[in-house]
Structures are given as C-alpha cells and as structure tokens.
Structure 1
C-alpha cells in the first residue's frame, strides 16, 4: 500500500481539491462576515459534495489501476482497506 502511484486522474483531482479548498475558505469568510446560517450550510454542503466526489474518483481510479486483476490475497486486503472509505 505504500507504493508511489501517479495516475492521469491525479492532476484533475488536484484541480478539483484546490477549487474545494478555495470554496471552503469562502465559507469561512461567510461565517466571519456573519452571513445567514442557511447560506453557510448550503455552501458547506457543496464543499462536502465536492470532496466526497474527489475521494470517490481517487478510490475508483485506484481500484481500476492499482489492484491486480488476478485477485491475490494482497490485492483483496488492499481492496477491503480502501473500500471502507467509500
């Protein structure tokens, strides 16, 4: 599990996570500015969804590219380990 993996999807994931990071910073500013809680909650939901989607893409990419199709015991253990984050 400690192998260094870089996939084509990682660049897009970084862009997606940087966008979510900027959005989260904006939410913090909304709270500091005293914006309505409903507006803040709506924006937090958007940030949460963006991060959840990024995580899902990362995990699916890992499953597609990093686990051996043979299904060795090591791969099964790794699949179980990463699947708990879905």
Structure 2
C-alpha cells in the first residue's frame, strides 16, 4: 500500500484530532471536498442502502453499485439543471 501511494504520488491528509500534539492545518478547500465526499457516502448508505448487499457474483455487485451511482447522478442532475434545487437534496420528491 505504501508503494502504491509512492508510485501514484498520493499524499494522504487527515484532519487533526483534539488531543493531537502537533496540529496540522488543512485548507478550507480540502475540508469542503472531504465534507462533500463524507456527505455523499452517508447518502449512499442511507438512501440507497449501499451497505446492504444481496449480490451473488462480482458482476452482480458491480451492476448494483453502478446502478446506484447512476441513480444518484441523475437525481443530482435533475436537482441542479431542471428543478433548480441544491445538489444534495436527494430525499425530496421530484414531483
């Protein structure tokens, strides 16, 4: 895993904890991106039951995940470009 991070030039940065001795500041941009990703994963877990899996094969699992990602993308597209709502409002009825 360390080789993969080094080879791909990925630097992992995490927010500091309250009891951490040397605090490391994260930029506001990174904090906003991290919060957006955490919100999206929480929505997947809650709205689309992403943590529940009944697939029997890897192809079935990939199909289920892809269909859930596609559904979320369509809801976000409709919210922004058709219904003029905020992008994260996925639980609100489209009607």
**TM-score normalised to structure 2 length:** 0.34
The structure that is helix-richer by fraction is: 1
Q: Does 1 or 2 have the higher relative contact order (CA < 8 Å, sep 6+)?
A: 1
**TM-score normalised to structure 1 length:** 0.37
